[in-house]
């Protein structure tokens, strides 16, 4: 049984803050500060360039990939870290399209994160082979998977509403139609149990700065199913994905399996922080995290609906169809969120009118949910959001 009192103590949360934004940026794991200091002091400082071998920096992306593999149901040896999620989307989509040379349609949905769609547009342009990005409503995806589709490109959990796609069903449908799948797990990894191998997913990508708590700008990950690992063609053929990087050959040869999805020099310091963040996950079971996430989410929804009549639930009511966040529509959502933040309850806002709250059992409990609800009710029912300073839009919402 996972001990969530113990995991809570592993985070350094500011006094007086109730943090409901771990779906956007996870908080600081206490051990990360010392781990980074140690890598800087003892490894970078003392080993200098020999750290690549002596401290194992070069092997870090695969080592950390294996630790994430456990959380997303991937086979060991088939996940590697690096770059940002947008770059990993591009790589996975390019490799998948290359495996379906006779098809031209990339199918996605309007709930996908814009960067995924932008990267698909950019790739289509670069390939210049007449591909089409077809975007349908989330509930229409299954019916839209036809034998024209080369790749189904989906984010499993919708960043705005938390609506969760059924990965097993959609992957099976895609395969039945001869298509491949690229799953974006940005809002799934560390949020809900994921079974990539069990679902037969072809490619998956995700970030580590949200539910996994790796820190701002922490590196992304990519998964390629074992059956494709030595066939996937790397679109971003950087030297560290080469079969023999230090042979410095004049032309590219892909490395073995997932290694070919590496591009350039790994972010050693960022990976050190992530390593400390992943230590927290070693002590918990994903099924326990999910059960607790559902319980806390249900408590939050019930209390908000009972006390804040102006808010309308934007997330699916059925927990089975919901990730680990709860969202509400409110026309003045931006201002209301600023008023909440000013009172120590941190969530965020997504245009046009969504107030988002991440439910993260590693460091949230019933008392946090109750406090957040009480402050939210006060902000709404006393119209505390209606002050000029809460209406000024910052660059990051």
Ligand X SMILES: Cc1ncc(COP(=O)(O)O)c(C=O)c1O
What token pair was written down for 40? Answer: 């800087």
3-state secondary structure of 12: coil
> Given the complex with ligand X, which of 45 and 352 has the nearer CB atom?
352
Binding-site residue total for ligand X (CB under 6 A)? 12
Between the alpha carbon of residue 343 and those of residues 304, 336, 339, 378, the distances in Å are 17, 11, 7, 10
Least distance to ligand X, CB of residue 292, Å: 23
* In the complex, minimum distance from the CB of residue 88 to ligand X, in angstroms, rounded to a whole number: 8
Q: Which CB sits closer to ligand X, 263 or 376?
A: 263
Cβ atoms 347, 381 nearer than 8 A: no
Kindly identify the residues of this chain, within the stretch 145-164, that bind ligand X according to CB under 6 A: 155, 159
Q: Which residues, numbered 174-193, are part of the site for ligand X (CB under 6 A)? A: 184, 186
Contact in structure between 299 and 324 (CB atoms under 8 Å) = no
Least distance between ligand X and beta carbon 4 (Å): 25
Q: Which is nearer to ligand X, 85 or 179 (CB)?
A: 85
**Closer CB to ligand X, 116 or 259, in the complex:** 116
The minimum distance between CB 369 and ligand X, in angstroms, equals 23
Residues 199-258 that bind ligand X (CB under 6 A): 207, 220
Taking residues 53 to 92 in sequence order and writing x for each that binds ligand X by CB under 6 A, - otherwise, the string is -------------------------------xxx------
Which C-beta is closer to ligand X: that of 199 or that of 207? Answer: 207
Strand order in the sheet with 348-350: 312-313, 325-329, 354-358, 348-350
Active site residues: 113, 184, 209-210, 356
Say whether residue 167 binds ligand X (CB under 6 A).
no
| Terminal-residue alpha carbon distance, the chain | 37
Contacts for 130 with CB less than 8 Å, ≥ 6 apart? 104
d(CA 63, CA 73): 16
Give exposure, 140-171, as e/b (b: 16+ Cβ within 10 Å).
ebeebbeeebbbbbbbbbbbbbbbbbebeebb
Q: Binding residue for ligand X (CB under 6 A) from 31, 75, 115, 135?
A: 115
Q: How far is CA 62 from CA 59, 180, 241, 363, in A?
A: 6, 24, 12, 28
Report the nearest approach of ligand X to the CB of residue 89 (Å).
6
Contact call for residues 92 and 137 (beta carbons, < 8 A): no
Q: Shortest Cβ distance from residue 184 to ligand X (Å)?
A: 5
- Kindly state the helix (H) or strand (E) to which residue 144 belongs, with its residue range: helix 141-144
| Least spacing, CB of residue 347 vs ligand X, in Å | 15
CA angle 243-201-77, nearest 5°? 35
Nearer to ligand X, 113 or 390 (CB): 113
Residue 346, Cβ neighbours under 10 Å: how many?
Answer: 21
Tokens of 99: 């495996």
C-beta of 162 vs 234, nearer to ligand X: 162
- Determine the longest span between alpha carbons in the chain, in angstroms: 68
Which positions lie near ligand X, rule CB under 6 A? 84-86, 113, 115-116, 155, 159, 184, 186, 207, 220
């Amino acid at each position: 049984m996972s001990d969530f009192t113990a995991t809570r103590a592993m985070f350094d949360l500011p006094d007086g803050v109730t943090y409901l934004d771990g779906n956007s940026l996870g908080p600081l794991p206490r051990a990360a500060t010392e781990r980074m200091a140690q890598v800087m002091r003892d490894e970078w400082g003392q080993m200098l360039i020999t750290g690549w071998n002596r401290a194992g920096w070069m092997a870090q992306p695969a080592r950390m990939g294996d630790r994430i593999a456990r959380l997303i149901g991937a086979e060991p040896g088939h996940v590697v870290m690096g770059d940002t999620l947008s770059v990993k989307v591009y790589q996975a989509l390019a490799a998948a399209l290359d495996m379906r040379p006779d098809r031209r349609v990339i199918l996605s949905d309007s709930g996908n994160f814009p960067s995924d769609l932008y990267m698909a547009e950019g790739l289509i342009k670069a390939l210049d082979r007449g591909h089409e990005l077809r975007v349908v409503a989330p509930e229409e995806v299954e019916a839209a998977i036809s034998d024209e589709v080369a790749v189904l490109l989906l984010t499993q959990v919708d960043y705005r509403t938390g609506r969760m796609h059924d990965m097993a069903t959609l992957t099976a449908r895609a395969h039945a139609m001869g298509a491949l799948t690229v799953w974006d797990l940005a809002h799934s990894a560390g949020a809900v149990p994921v079974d990539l191998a069990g679902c037969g997913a072809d490619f998956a990508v995700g970030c580590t700065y949200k539910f996994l708590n790796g820190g701002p700008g922490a590196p992304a990950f990519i998964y390629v199913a074992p059956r494709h690992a030595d066939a996937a063609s790397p679109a971003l053929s950087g030297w560290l994905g080469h079969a023999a990087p230090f042979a410095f050959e004049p032309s590219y040869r892909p490395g073995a399996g997932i290694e070919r999805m590496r591009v350039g020099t790994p972010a050693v310091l960022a990976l050190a922080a992530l390593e400390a963040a992943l230590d927290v996950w070693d002590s918990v079971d994903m099924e326990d995290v999910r059960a607790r996430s559902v319980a806390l989410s249900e408590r939050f929804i019930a209390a908000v609906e009972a006390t804040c009549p102006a808010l309308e639930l934007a997330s699916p009511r059925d927990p089975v169809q919901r990730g680990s966040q709860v969202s509400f529509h409110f026309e003045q959502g931006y201002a209301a969120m600023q008023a909440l933040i000013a009172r120590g309850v941190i969530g965020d806002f997504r245009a046009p009118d969504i107030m988002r709250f991440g439910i993260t059992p590693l460091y949230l409990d019933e008392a946090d949910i109750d406090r957040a609800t009480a402050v939210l009710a006060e902000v709404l029912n006393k119209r505390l959001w209606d002050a000029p300073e809460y209406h000024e839009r910052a660059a990051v919402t």
